[in-house]
Amino acid sequence: MVNLLFAITVFASGCSPFYYQPFGNRDARLGPETPMKSEMLGLPQPKEPIVAAVYKFRDQTGQYKESNVGASWSTAVTQGATNILIRALEESGWFVPIERENIGNLINERKIISSSRAQYEQNANVVLPPLLFAGILLEGGIVSYESNVYTGGAGVRYFGADASAQYREDRVSIYLRAISTSNGKILKSVYTTKSVLSQEVTSGFFRFVKFKRLLEAETGYTYNEPREMAINEAVEKAVHSMIIEGLLENLWTSADSSGIEHPAVKDYILEKENNTQIDYIGRLNKSNHRSSFYLSASGSGQTYIGDYASGMLQPGFASNIGFGISPSVFIDLGFGSQQLRVQDVFQKSELFADLGLLYIANPTGKLSPFLKIGGGTYLNWEDQVGVSTQKFLPFINYELGVEYIISPNVAIVGKGFINQLLNDRIDGVEAGSFNDNIVGAKLGLKFYIGKKIQ
């Protein structure tokens, strides 16, 4: 085992150069592009580009970069978002951005040009062409940077060898609005968000392999998504959204006849519709697939665990009725028949009924685990239960399972159960300190009926 762990660690260490270690020179190159860039360029072309002015696209978060060693006066996000937005506008082909952030410098330079021409061309009529004026004004900024929206990890350590992984997700949010320069009306406002991912993977080996001989090895890598790239993608998504929103509102038109029938526009409309139905982590928002009443039918396989060691798996059938008292909690009534067998002792079909509380962990999701705790009894009207002398044998019921909604009102249900008997008599032998148990699993369908639980 030690040799195997050592081999794994050595192999991982040997592979560490593939973790993009910067051993060589890195020449200057063009800045990387985001996946959003190709989507933005895939939009229909404008009938006429729109002259747009951007005075300042600011960092409005007021946040500083987190630090583990002390105070940090570096900001959490870039202060150059105006440059990112202007480039996105230019690259889209829909806008003609004009200089406004440092317009004072531009006006001073024009004055210098006019002065120089007047001095050297005294008889000439020196008139510079007028500056372009904007049809729309684009405002907004980076409104939020949330750290540690998700954190987590996993690891294992055994006999001096360990491996672990950790991850973190931050999130940046951007608002962009278009304003008419003729009357000041806000034409459209869009909101985009982008996750910033970080990941760390490490492995190591720490063990005395011989007397006074210690072996220690470790390897790993850390990946931090550049925040500038995340903001770049969020800004490009905002420009992409602004173009399509303008097409839908007839604020501007495309050069071809496709217009709002363009595939990119249809994809955006579908994305926007789906976005209203999910929360910030992608789960269905304020939606419930489950109604306040259900019926279910399932087949089962169960076995006896008790004083005899020869319990055998037998078939059974069960039905359940549920009444919802909240989106997550149901009163569950179950009944059915189960075959029980102990070799050379008995084999019988017993009726049963149970009542308990069922808790659904994820009531708004299609897939959800659930837990049921309750009580019930085995019963036999004409004979005793098992080889006991009783017609009723009570038990405590535990069930743990999962259900998946396959249609608006139908779910597949799979679960395991334990019926812990309150006495030790079903096999006719009262021995030991533990009562007899019936354990098994069920698989079936559940039918939700009625109105959805709010």
2 pLDDT exceeds 50?
A: no
**CA–CA dist 372, 353 (Å, integer):** 14
**CA–CA dist 40, 32 (Å, integer):** 15
pLDDT interval class at 214 (50, 70, 90): confident
- Tokens 């500083």 — which residue? 64
Give the pLDDT of residue 299. 94
14 pLDDT exceeds 60?
A: no
Q: Please tell me which residue, 17 or 160, carries the higher pLDDT value.
A: 160
As a whole-number percent, the residues of the chain with pLDDT over 90 amount to 31
Whether the Cβ atoms of residue 393 and residue 385 lie closer than 8 Å to each other: yes
Q: 330-373: per-residue pLDDT in tens?
A: 999 999 999 888 777 778 888 999 999 999 988 877 889 999 99
Q: What is the mean pLDDT of the chain?
A: 84
**CA–CA dist 76, 57 (Å, integer):** 16
Give the pLDDT of residue 323. 93
Q: Please tell me which residue, 170 or 24, carries the higher pLDDT value.
A: 170
Q: 363-414: per-residue pLDDT in tens?
A: 877 889 999 999 999 988 778 777 778 888 899 999 999 999 888 789 999 9
- The 10 Å Cβ neighbour count of residue 167 is 15
Give the pLDDT of residue 61. 85
- Tokens 């009580």 — which residue? 375
40: Cα separation from own chain's centroid: 24
**CA–CA dist 88, 86 (Å, integer):** 5
426 pLDDT exceeds 90?
A: no
Q: 228-261: per-residue pLDDT in tens?
A: 898 999 999 999 999 999 988 888 888 887 777 8
Closest CA to 45 of 363, 352, 258: 258
pLDDT interval class at 16 (50, 70, 90): very low
315 pLDDT exceeds 60?
A: yes
423 pLDDT exceeds 60?
A: yes
Q: 245-251 — which CB contacts under 8 Å span 24+ positions?
A: 245/188, 245/190, 246/178, 246/187, 246/188, 247/44, 249/187, 249/188, 251/178, 251/187, 251/188
pLDDT interval class at 160 (50, 70, 90): confident
Q: What is the 3-state secondary structure (H, E, C) of the chain?
A: CHHHHHHHHHHHHHHHHHHCCCCCCCCCCCCCCCHHHHHHHCCCCECCCEEEEECCCEECCCCECCCCCCCCCCECCCCCHHHHHHHHHHHHCCEEEEECCCHHHHHHHHHHHHHHHHHHCCCCCCCCCCCCCCCEEEEEEEEEEEEEEEEEEEEEEECCEEEEEEEEEEEEEEEEEEEECCCCCEEEEEEEEEEEEEEEEEEEEEEEEECCEEEEEEEEEEEECCHHHHHHHHHHHHHHHHHHHHHHCCCCCECCCCHHHCHHHHHHHHHHHHHCCECCCCCECCCCCCEEEEEEEEEEEEEEECCCCCECCEEEEEEEEEEECCCCEEEEEEEEEEEEEECCCEEEEEEEEEEEEEEECCCCCCEEEEEEEEEEEEECCCCCCCCCCCCEEEEEEEEEEEEEEEECCEEEEEEEEEEEECCCCCCCCCCCCCCCEEEEEEEEEEEEEEEECC
192 pLDDT exceeds 70?
A: yes
Residue type, 84: I
177 pLDDT exceeds 50?
A: yes
Instruction: Determine the average pLDDT of the residues in 20-48.
Output: 83
The angle subtended at Cα 364 by Cα 358 and Cα 369, nearest 5°, is 45
Give the pLDDT of residue 404. 92
Range with lowest mean pLDDT among 120-129, 152-161, 173-182, 356-365: 120-129
| Cα separations in angstroms, 258 against 262, 263, 270, 430 | 5, 9, 17, 82
Instruction: Determine the average pLDDT of the residues in 27-39.
Output: 86
Q: 66-80: per-residue pLDDT in tens?
A: 766 666 678 888 888
207 pLDDT exceeds 90?
A: no
**Beta carbons within 8 Å of 376's beta carbon, 6+ residues apart:** 334, 352, 353, 354, 355, 356, 394, 395, 397, 419
